[in-house]
Amino acid sequence: MKYDLYLRGYVGGADFDSDLVSRTLTKYKDRPVTVLIDSLGGSLATALSIAAAFREHGDVTAHFVGMNASAATIASMGANSITIDECAMYLVHKCSAEFFQWASFNADQLQDQIDQLTQLKSDLEKMDLNVAQMYARKCKKPVADLLALMKTGGWLTANEAWQWGFVDCLTDNHEDAVPVLTEDLAASMQANGLPLPNMEIKATPTPTGFHKLVEMLSNFFQRKPETNAQPDSEATAQEPTQHTNQLTDTDMTKLLPLLATALALQAQEFTLKDDHLQLTAEQADTLEAYIKDLSDKLTAEQTANKTAQDRIKALEKQLADKPADETVQVINQPAQSSALSAEAEFVANLKKAQELFDSLP
């Protein structure tokens, strides 16, 4: 199914942005708009803006796939119709704010801190009530029931989300991928205070893009070359040595642009003969060197990722026994200014780096 708008990743990031939504809705203001949502949440402010834009348009259908939480669910509340893939997951919970504070206070400073936290608590309660009222209107249930569900903060299956009334119907579209809880995703959810659903945690698959390039080029050279007949003329003998690997039409469609990029050539400059792709010895050597360089970069990237993951696991182990709220991180709220410990500063910087990465096109 083709959607007019795809909202994925962090709510408030480049792929889930209120300006992007406004531009799209303005473009299609005179017809129905379909929106696909796949997000673990983010900024409450952005979610409220998007919900208002959906409501103002008046004819938006939002469709949930994958694992969706907090701000992503709030954003959909302005849609005229909401559907969910039968394999998707859905989470609502109370709003929370980042808070780090390790310091020594005298009585006056402690009272100032108490006053600030009291105000923050009041603000969060107002946000919870506002969100619960939005949910209650959609679900046609008492606000108290929604506040109780938000306090529990557990994952709902698609069918449970439908029974509550958050969505209007379940779908079984063949193109909707079944959500997968990978090791990296689970670690990210725990680091951001999101509860883990009752799902099997699987090894993180190799990312697309750069990693696929290495894999495809490597697989190409791992194919067994065909044995060419000896040249039967002087003209043929003077031609460059050919490295020939047989590829399917699908292989060639995917591989040719990568080869062209690697060799800085146009795709038509490669030799295709009898469903074979032919490369000169010079081209083969260039590609082998290119693959080695990519492999070295990939190894360095994987090492850096493992180091970061080990550091996160160590921090989680240190913080595992610390008391925690029964609610979870949903929205961005300015943290109280204070000096951070080394652990807290690392977590804060890591989250900022992740947000910056998610905002890249």
Q: Quick one: which of 78, 89, 4, 80 has its CA closest to 38? A: 89
- Select the more confidently predicted residue: 190 or 98: 98
Instruction: Read off the pLDDT of residues 115-174 as tens digits, 9 standing for 90 and up.
Output: 999 999 999 999 999 999 999 999 999 999 999 999 988 899 999 999 999 999 999 876
Instruction: Read off the pLDDT of residues 227-263 as tens digits, 9 standing for 90 and up.
Output: 444 444 444 444 444 444 444 555 555 555 666 666 6
Name, in order, each residue with C-beta under 8 angstroms of 123's C-beta and a sequence gap of 6 or more: 333
Q: Is the pLDDT of residue 25 over 70?
A: yes
The per-residue pLDDT for 235 is 41
- Joined tokens for residue 295: 């492999």
Task: Give the predicted TM-score (pTM) of the model.
Answer: 0.54
Domain match, 147 and 214 both: no
Domain match, 142 and 289 both: no
Instruction: Read off the pLDDT of residues 100-116 as tens digits, 9 standing for 90 and up.
Output: 777 788 999 899 999 99
Domain match, 184 and 206 both: no
Q: Per-residue confidence at 312, pLDDT binned at 50, 70, 90?
A: confident
The per-residue pLDDT for 245 is 46
The per-residue pLDDT for 157 is 94
Domain match, 32 and 110 both: yes
Domain match, 123 and 216 both: no
Q: Per-residue confidence at 81, pLDDT binned at 50, 70, 90?
A: very high
Mean pLDDT computed over every residue of the chain: 75
The per-residue pLDDT for 173 is 77
Q: Is the pLDDT of residue 358 over 50?
A: yes
Residue 336 falls inside a structural domain: no
Q: For the purposes of burial, counting CB atoms within 10 Å of the CB of 318, is it exposed (0-12), middle (13-18) or buried (19 or more)?
A: exposed
Q: Per-residue confidence at 306, pLDDT binned at 50, 70, 90?
A: confident
Average pLDDT score over residue span 180-191: 69
List the end-to-end C-alpha distance of the chain, in Å, as a whole number. Answer: 23
- Select the more confidently predicted residue: 61 or 208: 61
Residue 334 falls inside a structural domain: no
Domain match, 161 and 269 both: no
Cα(356)–Cα(348) distance, integer angstroms: 12
Helix, strand or coil, per DSSP, at residue 96: coil
Residue 29 falls inside a structural domain: yes
Q: Per-residue confidence at 182, pLDDT binned at 50, 70, 90?
A: confident
DSSP code of 268?
G
Phi, psi of 62 (to 5 degrees): -105, 135
Residue 341 falls inside a structural domain: no
Residue 233 falls inside a structural domain: no
Domain span at 157: 5-195+353-358
- Select the more confidently predicted residue: 299 or 85: 85
CATH number at residue 28: 3.90.226.10
Q: Per-residue confidence at 97, pLDDT binned at 50, 70, 90?
A: confident
Residue 344 falls inside a structural domain: no
Cα(100)–Cα(44) distance, integer angstroms: 20
Domain match, 169 and 298 both: no
Q: Is the pLDDT of residue 293 over 50?
A: yes
Cα(173)–Cα(83) distance, integer angstroms: 11
The per-residue pLDDT for 357 is 63
Domain match, 248 and 180 both: no
Residue 329 falls inside a structural domain: no
